[in-house]
Structure 1
Amino acid sequence: MNFRQLKYFVATAETGQVSRAANELSISQSSVTTAIRELEAEMDTELFTRTSHGMELTQSGRELLGLSYDILTKLDEAVNIRERSSGVTGRVLVATTYTVIGYFLPYHLGRLARLHPNLDIQLHELNREAVEEGLLSNRFDIAIVLTSNVMNPELESETLMRSPRRLWLPQGHRLANLRSVDFKEIADEDYIMLTVDEAANTTMKYWNFGSTQPRVKLRTSSIEAVRSIVANGQGVTVLSDMVYRPWSLEGKRIVTVETDPPVPTMDVGLAWRRGAELSPGAVALYDYFRLTFDSSLTLNS
């Protein structure tokens, strides 16, 4: 068992498809398939059930996935070991929103704590309007938000990652085997509308590009509720890959398909008051995220 096998296994488990895992890893599909077969042979057990809709984890696969997250996290820490005493001290007040704190930040908070053990990072979860007001009134040093939602000209923002949005379907759905689905076909399905972090407003923006409207069956602020309802065949939705998981809490399968035309990405990044001089703690966060997401520049350079 090696790092490569586990990395390819996790990518396949998270995406539910060898082709998508290969695309995300920028490698060939045969490399992913070979790694999984090697892992199954070494463990003498099947990790996936192969179906026409993709790869579904077996019970052994689910157990290995949890262990793989722990192993890969430890390996990442070992590869990225640095001097623990960064010299940055004090407190930094950080504003964020529901989706970012739930699906983006936890991993990075752990790394930041190891890199800057003397930096007190105080998080505040708010809606976008409150985050923007807090930045403008200097109540927060910096924000980690959905930059695709930030419109205030008095704020500067920088996008770190762009998460594609796709159509979510239950396994076995009539549209699941298509390469892409147009909005007229989606409009024939019951639609589950997520409302948290202005998701409903964003959804209607790209629906309004065409002549159709979603047949909304339910509006909810719970991503897990959306996941379970879709997995149980009670509707479809369009959400980002960042919040996608290939199964619901009950263990039922969710597959994704491209929309035609593609919809705008959900962008995550940093925001601060235009012209503000960032505190040392805010600069440390800025530099960390820029370096993590492969930028060649920092505020200190």
Structure 2
Amino acid sequence: MASYTLRQLESFVAVAENGSIAGAAEALRVSQSSIAGALNNLERVFDAQLTIRRKAHGVTLTPNGRFVLERAKNLLNQAEDLELHADAAGTELRGSLKLGCYLTLAPTVLSRLMDHYGRRYPGVELDFFDGAQTEVHRRLASGELDAAIAYDMALPSGLSRRRLYHAEPTIVLAADHPLAPRAELSLADVAAEPMILLDVDPSRENTTTMFEAAGLEPNIRFRTTDYEVTRSLVGRGMGYAILVQQPAGDQSYEGRRLAVRPISPSVRHVPVSIVWPESVRLSQATTALIDLASELYPAKPKA
């Protein structure tokens, strides 16, 4: 039988997340002495120093503390999951779930997944974050997200994944561009044309890698960090873009017509996966999300 309690683990995790005993006490609405006592008891039970406490400098974790932190979070998540589902014998999912998504994937993938999940599991409180892929990675690592949809490129270590599908990069032009009448275009066809580069990772990395592999250098006119700004500039004939995700309609945000053309010869397709921290034991709600994502987006072999 374990000699520590869930309350002690909760206090330890709160200290780690808030950086001080005072911050943890405020977050949990208990006294600072009870937080300090919980830490002391844990360190005695584990026979290891978990924290370094300095007045006016807060609390930092030792290597032992960092080791215990992830496992403590897992135990607390499992305990919450058990409490939520015990009364329904596991027949109805409950709890909360925070899903992340890379910002250019969000309009075409995130909304569909959340809609289906919300109707299938109405007892789960579902929320999301969409943003840069590096920020999605950071929030996964910190435990702020349970899972995320991301391009399966340059993912950091420590993530488990399930492949959903491969996305195909395309060349996007204004509908009245001289090259628009062609059914398909090569990178060589557009290399000398002004490019509007979506300058966020991994989109930037994927685009530059494609040109390098073809022995070409793009003529970058503008760099943007916004997907719709990219398409609006293209719609006004200020350059072309290479984009992976495409809305259902071929119009810019301003309503200007776009021409979306496949790249020939074919370039590397971009894998899209649902990812989660491999060190975390998944809740029933998160497992159901991963299974639903696989159902909605069954992986297809790379073309």
Aligned residue pair count: 210
Whole-Å Cα distance in 2 between the matches of residues 86 and 266 of structure 1? 37
Matches within 5 A, 1:226-245: 226-243=230-247, 245=249
How big is the shift at 1:215? 0.7
How big is the shift at 1:137? 4.0
- Say whether the 8 Å CA contact 1:99–1:197 is kept in structure 2: no
How big is the shift at 1:198? 2.9
Matches within 5 A, 1:100-139: 100-139=105-144
Larger Cα-atom Rg: 2
- Find the counterpart in structure 2 of residue 213 from structure 1: 217
Whole-Å Cα distance in 1 between the matches of residues 115 and 248 of structure 2? 22
- Say whether the 8 Å CA contact 1:160–1:269 is kept in structure 2: yes
Deviations 1:113-141 (A, max 9, x none): 11111101232334323333333343432
How big is the shift at 1:283? 0.8
The alpha-carbon distance between structure 1 residues 86 and 264, as it changes in their structure 2 partners (threshold 3 A), is farther
Aligned AA for 1:288?
L
The alpha-carbon distance between structure 1 residues 188 and 244, as it changes in their structure 2 partners (threshold 3 A), is farther
- Find the counterpart in structure 2 of residue 254 from structure 1: 258
TM-score (norm 2): 0.63
- Say whether the 8 Å CA contact 1:161–1:268 is kept in structure 2: yes
How big is the shift at 1:266? 3.3
TM-score (norm 1): 0.63
- Find the counterpart in structure 2 of residue 58 from structure 1: none
- Consecutive unaligned residues of structure 2, counting only runs of 5 or more, are 1-89
How big is the shift at 1:163? 1.9
Structure 2 residue matching 1:157: 3-state secondary structure: strand
Aligned AA for 2:99?
V
Deviations 1:21-80 (A, max 9, x none): xxxxxxxxxxxxxxxxxxxxxxxxxxxxxxxxxxxxxxxxxxxxxxxxxxxxxxxxxxxx
Structure 2 residue matching 1:104: 3-state secondary structure: helix
Structure 2 residue matching 1:156: 3-state secondary structure: strand
- Say whether the 8 Å CA contact 1:98–1:196 is kept in structure 2: no
- Find the counterpart in structure 1 of residue 100 from structure 2: 95
Whole-Å Cα distance in 2 between the matches of residues 223 and 161 of structure 1? 21
Structure 1 residue matching 2:149: 3-state secondary structure: strand
Report the RMSD for the aligned CA atoms in angstroms: 2.3
Deviations 1:161-188 (A, max 9, x none): 2221111111232222334322222112
Matches within 5 A, 1:17-56: none
Aligned AA for 2:238?
Q
Structure 2 residue matching 1:180: 3-state secondary structure: coil
Structure 2 residue matching 1:242: 3-state secondary structure: coil
Structure 1 residue matching 2:213: 3-state secondary structure: coil
Whole-Å Cα distance in 1 between the matches of residues 174 and 256 of structure 2? 8
- Say whether the 8 Å CA contact 1:165–1:266 is kept in structure 2: yes
Deviations 1:199-219 (A, max 9, x none): 112211111112221111100
Structure 2 residue matching 1:99: 3-state secondary structure: coil
